[in-house]
Amino acid sequence: MAKKKSKSTTKKKPAKKDAKDLAKKVYTEEEKTRIAKYNERKERTPVKVEIAKSDSGKPNIQLQGLKDPLYEVKMLEALGTPDSDLQSHLLAQVCQTFEGTVSDGVFDKDKVISAYNHSMAILSGIQPQDELEGMLAVQMIGVHNMAMDYMGKATRIDRVDFMSTYMNGATKSLRAFVAQMEALKKYRTGGQQKMVVEHVHVNEGGQAIVGTVNQGGEVKNKNNE
């Protein structure tokens, strides 16, 4: 007599949902705005670089995407100058501020590539408007790298005197970075400062001033010049 097949007690695993099904279908207006900003920034990809050996055997930096119709535009937006020689000079300067790119005159290929690509990503975000801003942007990256290097050393050292030295260096570098940001902002705005008055309260018996208040405290009244 044939034995009856026992029913399997093993539960079937639920089928994996497709990634598209897991994606959110409905977004709020605030989320749509954030996504649009992200896509806009993502589309503005910076120029990448690679390292190739020249006939002399020395590393030769080559920029990728030379056939990209926006290549020259991207380089101008990142370095503030259309001059290719100056672009290469500024990139070489900023690359040397990254730790490990140069050791005893020898280039570390992988670190050089990383330094150049990181620099281009930052510079594309700053978007210097001319050569002066391009030089300032390169300096800002160098000062940032210096500050982070000092802070990293301070956290890894056991001696209090060395830690104090590194933290002093980091503090000075961070102050310099803030000064650079203020200089860039002031240069872009032409040194003009804008003051917006949201509310004007006039007590009983008082008089509102309609005019321009200069930094020195002088008041120039439009009604009574």
pLDDT value of position 184: 96
Q: Comparing 123 with 105, which gets the higher pLDDT?
A: 123
Among 39-48, 108-117, 137-146, 189-198, the range of highest mean pLDDT: 137-146
**pTM for this one?**
0.68
Please state, as a whole number, how many other Cβ atoms lie within 10 Å of the Cβ of residue 200. 8
Give which of 93, 57, 49 is closest to 75, Cα–Cα: 49
Question: 154-205 pLDDT, tens per residue?
Answer: 999 888 889 999 999 999 999 999 999 999 999 999 876 555 555 555 555 5
C-alpha dist (Å) from residue 178 to 27, 34, 112, 186: 38, 28, 27, 12
Mean pLDDT to the nearest integer, 208-224: 50
Please state, as a whole number, how many other Cβ atoms lie within 10 Å of the Cβ of residue 150. 19
pLDDT value of position 213: 47
Question: 9-29 pLDDT, tens per residue?
Answer: 555 565 565 555 556 568 899
Distance separating alpha carbons of residues 166 and 151, to the nearest angstrom? 7
Question: 52-75 pLDDT, tens per residue?
Answer: 666 666 666 677 767 788 889 999
pLDDT value of position 59: 60
Quick check: 94 and 141 in contact, CB under 8 A? yes
Angle between helix axes 131-156 and 84-95 (nearest 10 degrees) is 10
Distance separating alpha carbons of residues 149 and 101, to the nearest angstrom? 14
**76 — pLDDT class (breaks 50, 70, 90):** very high
DSSP output for 33-66:
HHHHHHHHHHHSPPPPEEEEE-TTSSEEEEES-T
Distance separating alpha carbons of residues 133 and 181, to the nearest angstrom? 11
The residues with which 213 forms a beta bridge, in sequence order, are: 219
Kindly tell me if the per-residue pLDDT of 225 is higher than 60: no
Q: Three-class SS of residue 101? A: coil
Question: 94-110 pLDDT, tens per residue?
Answer: 999 998 887 776 777 88
Percentage of the residues of the chain whose pLDDT score is greater than 90:
48
Classify strands 106-107 and 219-221 as parallel, antiparallel or unpaired: unpaired
Q: Comparing 65 with 91, which gets the higher pLDDT?
A: 91
Q: Which two tokens stand for residue 141?
A: 């990256």
